Structure 1
Amino acid sequence: MDRPTGKPEPSPQGAGSGAVRFRPGDVVMLECPFTEVTVTAVNRYHVSVRWPWSQVDPLAESYCWNGDMALPTPEDQDWDRLYFRTEPMAGALKAGDHCLVGIAPTVVHVVATHHFDPPLITGMLPRPTSYVEVLPQGEDYDPELEDQTFTFDPAGGEPIRLDLIFRPYAFLEAGDVVADCHGYAWRFDAVWDWHSLDGGRTVAPDWPLAQLNRDDRPPTSGDATSVARATAAGSHVEEVRRWTKLTLAKPAIQQR
């Protein structure tokens, strides 16, 4: 069974795993412990296994999921789009065999997050309330490509672990307004997505930054101090450079 391919509206609040809520631009270590499963079918392009972490949703009659998950083999075009792997590899497996399924530790960067209320119906339980879309190191996001990303439920049945490595502009939230060192006002819409409010002529504000408001209100003294301290040294260029060094990719959202 493939995961849903529809493109829900991104949630500006991000999607969470445990106490951490992820947002586009986050660099994350992704992994899932390898678990023993039973192989149900094998062909050139897929190895199907009995999925150990989800149950059939009895109320999702139109989906008719049978409890198996088809994982791509290296022969399939989606081989690099689904990070779950079998050990041993598919070529050594046949129906009835036992093998391990999991995700080896992989550095990824978050491209988008989605939130569902009510939870999304997929034919599987638990029903997801959020999705995270990620790309591996070395791959730039291309909005023209369909199904480029690996999409998963960070709080779903699979025991996926996500450890935040780096969050660019971690001291800001979407919608924050700041003044740059020249006195120009900028709105932080998303990572790498800055909007000049009064004539800034660059793609992003020059540090240090002073926070002007958050949620259309003056910032708290703690928030203002946090922004001032975080930008006392460094620059937007250095923030991009640090992210690029970890992801080996170009920023996913075009600057303007």
Structure 2
Amino acid sequence: MSALAAERWGDAGPRVVLVHGSLNSAAAAFSEQKVLGDRYQLIAPYRRGYRPSPPTDRVDPDRDAADIVELLGSGAHLVGTSMGGVVAMRAAALAPEKVWSLTVIEPPAMPNGAGRPAADRLITAMREHWEQADPNDLESFAAGFLQVLNVSMKLSSPLSDPLAEAIRNLTTERPWLTGVPAEKLTATDFPKLVVSGGGTPGFEDVADALAEQLSAKRVLFDGSPHAVQRIGEPFNNELLAHLASAGEPTP
């Protein structure tokens, strides 16, 4: 049995595991996908360090990936947003036989985009932010991080407990080091989709690189937020078509 708490929407159809990113939660990240519970069994776990799942001293994408593999059961579609995309790809590499399709949304797999100008600039900016920012000043750390990404997000002040917890987790991440094993994923035959919203040039470079490395379908919803899935129906329609392209899996 998985150690993670999870939101569960829908009780019939193929399983879809949805992995949230940083500064987020399962319920908030995938609120626009709940409507898909009429045809899929959606499981959106809270990663370690995000209540009500167990606490953690630091974010470990490999440990998170192992947690996600447990939720795949005998097989599932896998969707990950932001750092959840990195976790999803590492999980897919761990247990490719359990993955029916893979969708990632602006994953910070920065090493995979290294050598591309905007990705290299973002890698440098991230590293410098972590070196210079005070990890104990959570509001300033998060604000600086969002500025680096060119992401507009209003933080509550004072911080809510869940947001403070999420920022504390973020301070332990090292996104410029969170590459994914593209060669292992390329060797798999399940369909892959890479989605972005156009707001962070470095993430666009990474998404382009991943699409090439994984022979994945590449979709840009230009003008969308970093968490592209929050645009709702346009993303959901693309996701549904992608899930259907995997054929009819046998659980």
TM over 0.5: no
Which band: TM-score by shorter chain?
Answer: under 0.3
TM-score using structure 1 length: 0.26
TM-score using structure 2 length: 0.26
Specify the structure having the higher radius of gyration (Cα): 1
Structure with the bigger percentage of helix: 2
